[in-house]
Amino acid sequence: MARALLRHRPVIVRRLEPADVDAFRTVRLEGLRNHPENFGSDADDEASYPLERWTKWIERGGGFGAFVDVELVGIISFSAETQKKHRHQGSIGSFYVRPAWRGRGVADALMTAAIEEAARQVEHVSLTVTASNEGAIRLYKRHGFEVVGRIPASIRVDGADHDELSMHRRVAASD
């Protein structure tokens, strides 16, 4: 559990639990709706998922939330690859901080938690980010990620195409 002080209100970053499912669903759908070009997943698709599917996602254990008091203000996830030849690899995603809580260190606390989780499980971490998402790219570089590729027209929203960048960092214990 990570703890950061936010203008005298502590931010706690911890693993999401099944009891967080309603808040998680609300925050996740808010992110997908407000920033469709920044996520591969679609808000309408996920809004139609039954609650059990959201709970199962949480039970897999890779979701983290940033809480101020009892309010969920941001989310992130880490998942390790399961195929034998890829098990040393993982990815970070589902990264979203509610607008009122941006620029205050919440995003850094979430990313630190995800990288720490990655370091417990794998040696390499990847993520993708929409090429125009400059703030997020700056944050990822601050956390040691490098751009390793560009996927043209990776995301299509309302007929507009958006490139995505692939970013990578090592998290092996020797780093």
Ligand X SMILES: CC(C)(COP(=O)(O)OP(=O)(O)OC[C@H]1O[C@@H](n2cnc3c(N)ncnc32)[C@H](O)[C@@H]1OP(=O)(O)O)[C@@H](O)C(=O)NCCC(=O)NCCS
Contact set with ligand X (CB under 6 A): 31, 35, 38, 95-97, 102-108, 129, 133, 135-136, 138-139
* Per-residue DSSP letter, 100: G
Smaller CB separation from ligand X, 50 or 152: 152
Smaller CB separation from ligand X, 107 or 171: 107
CB of 111 to ligand X, least distance (A): 8
Residues 6 or more apart in contact with residue 94 via CB below 8 angstroms: 28, 31, 63, 75, 76, 77
CB of 174 to ligand X, least distance (A): 27
Rounded to the nearest 5°, which phi and psi values hold at 23?
-65, -40
164 and 155 in contact (C-beta within 8 Å)? yes
CB of 96 to ligand X, least distance (A): 4
CB of 92 to ligand X, least distance (A): 9
Residues 6 or more apart in contact with residue 17 via CB below 8 angstroms: 58
Smaller CB separation from ligand X, 55 or 147: 147
